[in-house]
Structure 1
Amino acid sequence: MQTILDLLKLAGGFRPTLYLKIENPPYLALVIEATPEPGPMGLPALSVTHYGEQNGDLMRDPEMCFEICLPFGGMPYLDPFYYRNDYVAVEQWSRRIWSGHYVALLDLHKQHERFAVVWDRNLRLQGFAEAFTDAAIRS
């Protein structure tokens, strides 16, 4: 999710109060926000969401949550652990803490990683980085 990392950099970096809303018509607005809880490995986490509306309700299309990973001597990357799409009634956790234990569903995690690559390419091609302005920063 290099596009999301680039947007974070444009917004001044990650912070616990981060909330960005990037309007880029004709596409659905993109919302990037810090989650109040860390990810399953205890790392800071982000929610990345396109919101639509149906019958007056906000609908995630989709939402993915990522842990922000900063390996020693390496480049930061986003590791997915959650996917949701309200229009098709899908909610999936590929990594989480369950009854005090770390649980990883490896095949589902690989699906989430592949989807994130495709979504990242779409966000880049749709021009979300170019659409970013300081007005997108809501925190």
Structure 2
Amino acid sequence: MQSIKEILEIHGFDSVEDMPISYEIKLEVDGFMPLIIKKINEHRLSVAHYYEQNGDLMRDPEIIFDSQVWVAVEYHQDPFIRLRDENGLVDATAFALNTWDDNLKQQGFVEAAEQAASASPAHEVVV
């Protein structure tokens, strides 16, 4: 996902492998759900929009990528959709690489990353 790669570069990372595990980037753009990018293990990156419902965080969606090849291996859209395939989810990967990637850029998340990075030091963990 080109937009996510750009956001990582803005935050000082040449690749997902350069990020520490549990490192999280949270971006907010008015009118859209927050975007959370989080490294969850050696070669897994979670990219998700979240909203709150009855006090619970709901994913809309969350896609977990094998960051070595940028293939979706998990897809969650609360409350009912949960898909997982270590060999890759073809439809989720196509959605992420085409539609979602374009939407993130058009909605201003790359620009929000630029603003956030200039306001805080590189590699600062957002909690």
Q: Same fold, TM exceeding 0.5?
A: yes
Secondary structure of the corresponding residue to residue 27 of structure 1: coil
Q: Is 1:55 the counterpart of 2:36 in the alignment?
A: no
Alpha-carbon distance in 1 for matches of 2:83, 2:44: 16
Alpha-carbon distance in 2 for matches of 1:53, 1:115: 24
Listed as ranges, the gaps of 5+ residues in structure 1 are 39-43, 70-76, 96-103
Structural RMSD (CA) = 1.8
Q: Could you tell me which residue of structure 2 aligns to residue 12 of structure 1?
A: 12
Identity %: 34
Q: Is 1:129 the counterpart of 2:105 in the alignment?
A: no
Q: Which has the larger radius of gyration?
A: 1
Compute the TM-score of the two structures, normalised by the length of structure 2: 0.81
> Size of the alignment, in residue pairs?
114
Q: Which amino acid aligns with 2:21?
A: P
Poorly superposed stretches of 4+, deviation over 6 Å: none
Asked if the contact 1:21/1:137 (under 8 Å) is kept, the reply is: no
Q: Is 1:111 the counterpart of 2:116 in the alignment?
A: no
Change (3 A) 1:55 1:17: closer
Asked if the contact 1:19/1:137 (under 8 Å) is kept, the reply is: yes
1:11-41 deviations in whole A, cap 9, x for unaligned? 1112324110001111000000010x34xxx
Alpha-carbon distance in 2 for matches of 1:45, 1:110: 17
Q: Could you tell me which residue of structure 2 aligns to residue 86 of structure 1?
A: 78
Alpha-carbon distance in 2 for matches of 1:5, 1:49: 15
How far did residue 137 of structure 1 move? 4.8
Alpha-carbon distance in 1 for matches of 2:48, 2:33: 9
Q: Which has the higher strand share?
A: 1
Secondary structure of the corresponding residue to residue 24 of structure 1: coil
Alpha-carbon distance in 1 for matches of 2:33, 2:22: 23
Asked if the contact 2:27/2:112 (under 8 Å) is kept, the reply is: yes
Compute the TM-score of the two structures, normalised by the length of structure 1: 0.74
Change (3 A) 1:110 1:57: same
Secondary structure of the corresponding residue to residue 49 of structure 2: strand
